Each structure stands twice: as structure tokens, then as C-alpha cells.
Structure 1
Amino acid sequence: MTNPLRVALAAGRFCYVVELVASALTREARLLETASGLARLPQVVAGSVTSYAGGAMGHDPLRVAAAARARGLTPNIHLTCVSQDRGGLRKTLDDMHALSLENVFALTGDYPGAGDQPPVFDLDSVQLVHLVDELRRGGKAFHVTVAVSPFKYTEADCVYQYVKLEKKIAAGADAAVTQVGWDARKLEELKRYLDARGLRTPLLGNVYVLGPRTAERMATGRPPGCWVSPELLAAVRAESLAQDGGRQARLERAARTVAVLRGLGYAGAYIGGTHDPVQIAWIIRRADELAPRWEALAAELRYGPAGGFYLSASAPRPRHPRRDALPRMLEWLGRALPVTRDTPLRRALARVFAWIDRHRPAAVLLEHVELAIKKPLFGCQACGNCVLGHLEYVCPQTCPKQMRNGPCGGTDNGRCEVVPDKPCIWVAVHDRAKASGSLDGLKTYVPPPHRQLRDTSSWINYFLDRDSRPGPGGG
């Protein structure tokens, strides 16, 4: 069975993926009627079936995907880390393989906004791509799409999105889809970033057909990671006064965005905000007509904030700010007393910690001592798999999603998606790495922790090579 999404991207043919929001508020039968209509459009190579869109549970995406395929539309299934641990995610992937469903959209997922069950977030999206790739190396033919948000307007948020995309590509991602946004400068910035690094991963630009209700909501930063500028909001409000409620204007804006994507060298468009086959067909035809004018249209698509951060290859490198005292002191100590490689000191400490591990009272005492030191300094939560030294001495367990490879796409000008009155922890990681001139170190993959080591001493686990950490020796 051929996979139109894989085929189109491999051939370099501009293609379309349409988002099918499998919301509990939408009848499944209606979604499948839509799938039948989209299947008749040759340019549409997949329907992207959501899971936990906006943090709310919907229909079973595998059931919807299998039914959509039966109606002729190839599904692209959103797989999130919200409600399943790594065992559950592996089971879902096994089920997909059994159903011959190979397109995976690997996402961390939005933090649930309601419900009695706490979220899981056992893996982050980079670790999920690693899991999919592991199964793929075992003979399961998955095609992996990931997300990236170029529409970040502070330096830390922006740089970390691109660094995290590099991690996903290194882990095995086959394609990337941008978050929602209306800024051609950012779309171009992302393409140039990958091109400058020789990364040829196909990019699909998110083209959202923006109506007034959604614009009002996005103007407040909801769903997480989506933002509408005051200027764009004013334009949508004015358009909504037209006799058709602004329908034609929003379809025109979508078509113009598609034309810009084609001109920038994107591989395709990911259309959301509508899955009406008639409207999708109109956008495709109109984008073809507008394609020669893409540069002029790009100059008009500039709905970023005043003073927002943009990467510039020609900009001079800024002087590094002074680094925090604690990370500097700990790194100096690490150089003075090397234990990250096979040294006499490490071998001696390994023997000491092995003795402590064999004597339970001593091990319990050490656990309490370690927590008493690290909790006030770093917010330690006794995961037993300490990676502070790889993350500029910022504990990833203090992230509400417990992410270990960078921020989610829900950050808002450096603020946390889940706790908006607090800064995202990854801002500190970025700023400390920049201060020490070690931004490239942020590209290091951090594996998921071994959960069975929770509430044990990470010092013992480290010296006895039980823990999960980057590089050789990490379990």
C-alpha cells in the first residue's frame, strides 16, 4: 500500500495535508464524510487526525484514522505524550503497525485543561521520535512528522525551538510542520536555518483559515503557542463585517500564505481551521494563481510583534553576559575532580558507593543528604537520574511536563504554558549556555529517565552506571 504523503515529499511535489480535529464535539460520522470529500482532491495527500487538541480528549484517533483510510484518505495520526507512558505509546505504535497505519505526527501535546486524571508526560517529543525510530529499525515502516514553532519572539524561545528541531531530525524525523503563525519573516528564517546547516528535512507550513472567534481566542494566547497580533485581529474584525462574515477574506489570506510557502521552498501546506473540501479546493486553485506574486505577498504577511526577536546570520555575535556563580563553581569542581570518565577518583568513588548501596541504612541516609542539598539549590524531585550537568544545572523535573530536551511549543515570551506567571525553565538553560559559549551543547540528546530509580540516590546510580543520561554509560 503506497503512502501518498511519503511519496509526495520524496518527489519534491508541493502537497497538502488537512487537519481533521477529532473533537468530542464533532460527530465522527461527519468527520468521515469530510474525509471522503478530501480524498477526491489529488493535491491532498493526508488527513491529520488530532489527539488531545488544545488539551481536550476527543475521539480515538486510531479508529478515526482507520475509518478515514477506508474512505480513501491517507491518515497522519497525532501521537501525544499526554495520557500514555512509554509502554502505552509503544502499544499504540504496535497497533498502528498492525493496522498498516504508518504516518505518525509525534508531539508532546498540550497540557490538559480539564479532567480528573493527571497528565503522564513520561516522554517528550524528541524521546518519542527516538522510540518510533527504534521500532522502525525493527522493521516497522513508520513515517514521522514533528512540529516546530518559528513564531517565537524572544531569543531563548526562538533558538531553543530550532535546536529542538535539530534534535528531532537527528532522532529520525522525516518532515516538520510549523505551528500556527502569520509572519513570512519567521517562515523564511526557519527555512534558512535548516538550509544553512545542510538539513533537507521537508517543511510544511501551517496555514490556518482564521475566523473572528478563533482570532479573538488566539489573541489571548489560547491554544498554547498560538498568537494573533493586534493588527491581524483588527483586520479579521473588519473583514467579519462583510456580507459573507469575512469568509472570502480568510480564504484569500490562506491562499496567499500558501503561495508564500511555495515561493520560500516549503514542501507543502498543512491546512487547519477548515476541512471543507470545497474551501480547500478553492485555496489550492487560488494559491496556484498567486504563486508568481509570492514575494510581494510575503512583504504583506508581517504580523509579528514590534521589537520581536529574529535570527540574523549577518548580525554580530553579542557579548556573553556574566554567567551565574553556581554553574561556574560546579563546572570548576568537575574539572578539578574529574569523574565523568574512567579515572582513579571515579573508580575509588564507585567502590565507596557500591559499599553504601549494599548497606540499606547507609543508602537511605545518603538519599536524604542528597535531597537536602539539591532540593533547595535546584528544586530536585529525586528522579534518581540526575542530568543537571547536561542542562546548565537546571532540573528538568521542575518543568510541569518534565521535558528533558527543550521547551514545548506552548511558551509565551519566555513564560511557561502551564504556569504563566513563571518563566519557562528552559530560558535559564539557554541563557546560561549562551553565557558560557556552549549553545551547541544544547543539541545533546537527553534520554528519558529510568522511572524505577525514583526516590533513590542519583549519586549511587551514576557511579554504578544504573541511570539514564547522555553519552556512554547512561543506561
Structure 2
Amino acid sequence: MSLLKTTLDANAFACILEFVPKPSAERFATLDTLMARTQLCGWPLTVAIGDRVGSALDMSPLDAFNSLAEPVPALLHFSGKDRERHELLAQLQRMDAAGLDQLLLLTGDRLPGHVPGERPVRYLESVAALQIVRQARPHWLLAAALNPFKYQEAEGGAQYSKAEKKLAAGADLFILQLGFDIDKHQEAFDWMQRQPRPKPLMACIMALTEGRAGMLEHVAGVTVTPSMRALLAAEAAVSKTYAKERANQRLALQVIGLKLMGYAGVHLSGIHEVAQFEALEQTIEVLQPQFSSLRDWAPAWEAAWQAPGLTPVTFHPPGHAWRLGQRQITASNKEKVRYHLLSAMHHQLFSRTTVLSKAFGWAVTRPLWASPTAAQWLHQLERRIKRPMVGCDTCGSCRLEDTLYICPETCPKGLANGPCGGTSLDRCEFGDRECVHSAKYRLAVSVGRTEVLRERLIPCVQVENRQRSSWPGWFEGGTSRSPSLQPDVAPEFNE
């Protein structure tokens, strides 16, 4: 079942066919037929089974795997939306029983029906999930996601900072978010090559038509620009067949270009029919001999995104074309003053070295706080003090020192280690606020604390700790700070 790991270890190109499990006999029969081929253009073929892509009621990846006519090499997904640590550990046991040892760990997109301010929905964050699985299954192949298709510095820089944490947490492979901007693919590849121990990269790609472009406008984190839409509409106006042929040609060219760039493989999305698979294979076989380098390939890729009478296609949103390494932002004076005040307050009250912190620590660790009534009173006191200042929701494991005093609980998903992939130009996936991790990145750059964004691996909050004061645990435990790990030197355990 470890075909993907074997292929990656051999530095060979791999193809992953994405499968979103729906209760459809025809859908499963098509997948069985495709996987029986075992290859695409001679490249090993495996399947990735999505986790609750459309609904929390979707068939689980493991149930879908067990429904296949024949066992096939599979990379299961685990989405952390509305999940806790114990649910992840339970899936590991079920995967052991099925002989599976490959897992893609995702925080997950917005849970349908999740409205901030109503019932809180907890998301088991991908960094923490990687740590948990690496500790429990040291030898598994663990994959993580990266979305490089970001076009403002704060959201893009925060993405790469979180990716460094994923490396430290034990990721063996990164699979990129669906995207079409080849310059961003190159950016991500170059970033990985600069890491102390680079890991393989695979790219999620799809044959893009006008209909799919309309659908992707509702998928968080995917960028389809107005100029792309104009080209796709012009192709559809010629004929549906012509539009499909052009989309298939671009997909084939993208596969070839990514292979020439040095990617370890592709994650093929949106292939649901045998005819689609065969058309892609035939087009790759025709085009591939024509290109021996990216220099040869680039003009063909550019031409594939052009049409007479249309302005050239751009892959970045109008007016936004940030690239990794460009410095464009700074925090406001108000943000910097707030940080320094809270940092000074934290030192005085929680450093365990000042007279005031020693007195405060002694006070909140008295035995009287062990009674339920007193513990509830202390919880309410902490909440009433900290909520107006930082938006605290009394998670019971305060992480403010590790997040530059921007509370993770103000993120609708409660993410502490960095952003999800669903932001758009610094806006939260929920659309009602700026992403708190963009604000945190902007502040870190301005006060010289960017190492916090890359190196502090913050564990998940245990469900039993929520809604109680964090103060006694801070002083009784000696420290609640997460380990500051350098990339790829995590111990033989982890998320």
C-alpha cells in the first residue's frame, strides 16, 4: 500500500488521482477501472480519498477505501474540522487494521453551517495533527498542504512560515492547493529547495473550463482571475468540445511543466470519467517529446492562455502581484504599542522572575482553587479581564506569548500556528474580518519577532481544558510554552 512512498524515495514522478467519496456505484466503478491501469504515461498511479469535502455526512475516506472492488495504493485525507485529538487517534487504529500508512493532514475548509458567534466549531489544526501522528506512527508517510497562491505579503508570508512549522512537525511531503499560476509553483519549489532538508512537492491541478471556474469561485483559497474567466468564456462560446480540448491541453502542459520544474508529481483533481483520463494521457504523450526544458515549454504554456482579441491572461488578482521576498507592509503604531504593553504586562505577571509574578503565581495555585465553585470563579475572572483586551475565550491553555498577544480564539477556526489556505487578499475565509494571522505576521515583521511564526509549534488545546482558567496550570506546570523547534529536527514523534 506504500506505492507513493516507494516512488518518492526513488525520486520518480508520481500521479495521485483525487477521489471525493459519494454514495454512487457508478463513481466507485469508474475509480476501480482507472486504478486498474496502475499508471499514467508510465508514472505510478495512486488515489487520494478526500475527507468531508462537500459535507460532514460524506462517506469517510476509510469507508470509501473499503468499498473499492480491489485494494489499491491510497493516500487518505484527514480534515480537522469539528474534530478533536481522540478522533484522529481512532482513525489511526482503523487505518492500521486496513494496512494503510499514508495520510494527508488538513485543517479543513469552513464547516457548512459554521457561523462565527454561534456554536463554536473546533478545528484540529494541521500542525498539531502532524505532531500527534508523527509521535504515534513514526514511520508513516505524512503529507501536508501549502497554498502559495497568495498575492499580499502578510497572507503569503504567513503561509510559508506555517509550512516551516509543518516541516518541523514531521511532514514528509507537501501537496499544493489547486492553482494555475506557474510563477507561484516556481516560487514554492524554490522556497522548498532553500530549506535545510527539502521535501518533495506535488501540485494539485485541474482541467479548467468556464463551468468549473464558476464553481471554484466558491472554493476558499483558489484564485481564478477575471482575465482567466474571459478566456474560458470565449472558448466556451466556440463550442463545448473546443473548450474541453483546450482545457485538456493546458492540463497536459501543466503536468509536463511541473515535471520539468522538478516537482515530485501531480495531484489530479476533477477527473471522474475514463474518457477524461485517456484524453489527458494521449495529449501528454503527444506533447511531452516536444519539450526538454522549461525554456522550451514556457512559450507553449503562454500560448495556451491566449486568444485573439483578448487581453493577456494574468493569474494574480488585479492590482495584487506580491512575490515571496518582497517587503511591503508594516504594523501601525497602535499595533506596535499594544504589543509592547501586553508584552511588558505578561513579563510582570507571568515571567515567574519578578516579585509581582511570584506573588501572583502563589495566589492562583492555592488549594482553594481546586474546588469546582472556586475554579469556576477564577475562570470567569480570567475571561472578564482578558476578553476585552484580546478576545480571550478561556481555552485553558493560554498561548498569547507564542502568538504575539493576538489570541488564536479570535480566528473562527481557532488556529494558533498560522493561517488556513482559505484567505483571500488578507481576508478571512469567513469573509467578515481580516485574517488574524495576517495581522500577526505584519506585527512580527515590524517588531522583529518573525522566528515565532516559524519555530513555535503550538500543540492543540485539549477539549477537557476548555472553559477553565489557564493561570494555575501556567505556574504549576513550570511552562506552557510550546517547543521551539528548528525545521526537520523534530524528535521521532509528532503531530
> 1:428 matched to which residue of 2?
439
Instruction: Give the deviation of 1:461 after TM superposition.
Output: 2.0
**Larger displacement relative to structure 2 (392-401 or 49-58):** 49-58
Q: In the alignment, is residue 31 of structure 1 matched against residue 28 of structure 2?
A: yes
Task: Give the counterpart of 2:271 among 254, 270, 274.
Answer: 274
> 1:179 matched to which residue of 2?
177
- Report Cα offsets for 1:71-122 as digits up to 9, x if no partner: 3531111111124321111111110111001221111112122599978534
AA matched with 2:450: L
Q: In the alignment, is residue 350 of structure 1 matched against residue 353 of structure 2?
A: no
> 2:7 matched to which residue of 1?
8
Task: Give the counterpart of 1:396 among 408, 412, 418.
Answer: 408
| Structure 1 unaligned spans of 5+ | none
Q: Verify the 8 A CA contact 1:54 1:110 in the aligned structure 2.
A: no
> 2:129 matched to which residue of 1?
128
**Larger displacement relative to structure 2 (422-431 or 285-294):** 285-294
Q: In the alignment, is residue 99 of structure 1 matched against residue 129 of structure 2?
A: no
> In the aligned structure 2, how far is the partner of 1:401 from the partner of 1:226?
19
AA matched with 2:465: L
> 1:226 matched to which residue of 2?
222
> 1:294 matched to which residue of 2?
297
> In the aligned structure 2, how far is the partner of 1:234 from the partner of 1:352?
66
> In the aligned structure 1, how far is the partner of 2:133 from the partner of 2:287?
34
> In the aligned structure 1, how far is the partner of 2:13 from the partner of 2:412?
38
> In the aligned structure 2, how far is the partner of 1:54 from the partner of 1:416?
20
Instruction: Give the deviation of 1:346 after TM superposition.
Output: 5.1
Instruction: Give the deviation of 1:10 after TM superposition.
Output: 1.0
| Structure 2 unaligned spans of 5+ | 306-313, 485-495
Instruction: Give the deviation of 1:134 after TM superposition.
Output: 1.3
> In the aligned structure 2, how far is the partner of 1:165 from the partner of 1:448?
17
Task: Give the counterpart of 2:460 among 444, 448, 459.
Answer: 448
Task: Give the counterpart of 2:142 among 123, 141, 144.
Answer: 144
Q: Verify the 8 A CA contact 1:449 1:468 in the aligned structure 2.
A: no
Relative contact order, CA 8 A, sep 6+: which one is greater? 2
Task: Give the counterpart of 2:448 among 437, 444, 451.
Answer: 437
> In the aligned structure 2, how far is the partner of 1:465 from the partner of 1:122?
25
User: Normalising by the residue count of structure 2, what TM-score does the alignment of the two structures yield?
Assistant: 0.85
> 1:239 matched to which residue of 2?
235
> In the aligned structure 1, how far is the partner of 2:213 from the partner of 2:403?
36
Q: Verify the 8 A CA contact 1:186 1:310 in the aligned structure 2.
A: no
SS at match of 2:9: helix
> 2:247 matched to which residue of 1?
250
Instruction: Give the deviation of 1:352 after TM superposition.
Output: 2.2
Instruction: Give the deviation of 1:158 after TM superposition.
Output: 0.6
SS at match of 1:193: helix
SS at match of 1:246: helix
> 1:200 matched to which residue of 2?
198
Q: Verify the 8 A CA contact 2:404 2:444 in the aligned structure 1.
A: yes
> 1:111 matched to which residue of 2?
110
Q: 1:87 to 1:362 in 2, by over 3 A?
A: closer
1:369-388 matches, within 5 Å, as 369-388=381-400
**Larger displacement relative to structure 2 (388-397 or 115-124):** 115-124
Instruction: Give the deviation of 1:59 after TM superposition.
Output: 2.1
AA matched with 1:436: V
Q: Verify the 8 A CA contact 1:55 1:111 in the aligned structure 2.
A: no
> In the aligned structure 2, how far is the partner of 1:55 from the partner of 1:125?
19
> In the aligned structure 1, how far is the partner of 2:369 from the partner of 2:119?
33
- Report Cα offsets for 1:110-151 as digits up to 9, x if no partner: 2122599978534111111111111113xxx42111111110
AA matched with 1:134: Q
Q: In the alignment, is residue 51 of structure 1 matched against residue 57 of structure 2?
A: no
AA matched with 1:195: Q
Q: 1:350 to 1:311 in 2, by over 3 A?
A: same
AA matched with 1:450: Q
> In the aligned structure 2, how far is the partner of 1:102 from the partner of 1:439?
34
> In the aligned structure 1, how far is the partner of 2:46 from the partner of 2:459?
31
% identical equivalent positions: 28
Instruction: Give the deviation of 1:170 after TM superposition.
Output: 1.1
> In the aligned structure 2, how far is the partner of 1:290 from the partner of 1:157?
38
Instruction: Give the deviation of 1:395 after TM superposition.
Output: 1.1
Instruction: Give the deviation of 1:319 after TM superposition.
Output: 6.8
**Larger displacement relative to structure 2 (428-437 or 367-376):** 367-376
Q: Verify the 8 A CA contact 1:256 1:290 in the aligned structure 2.
A: no
> In the aligned structure 2, how far is the partner of 1:385 from the partner of 1:375?
15
> In the aligned structure 2, how far is the partner of 1:247 from the partner of 1:428?
41
**Larger displacement relative to structure 2 (453-462 or 260-269):** 453-462
> In the aligned structure 2, how far is the partner of 1:459 from the partner of 1:290?
65
- Report Cα offsets for 1:356-385 as digits up to 9, x if no partner: 525666544433332221111111111111
- Two-structure CA RMSD over aligned residues (Å): 2.8
> 1:82 matched to which residue of 2?
81
- Report Cα offsets for 1:418-475 as digits up to 9, x if no partner: 2x13111112111111110111211211111132222222122211228854139xxx
Aligned residues: 460
Q: 1:125 to 1:28 in 2, by over 3 A?
A: farther
Q: Verify the 8 A CA contact 1:81 1:108 in the aligned structure 2.
A: yes
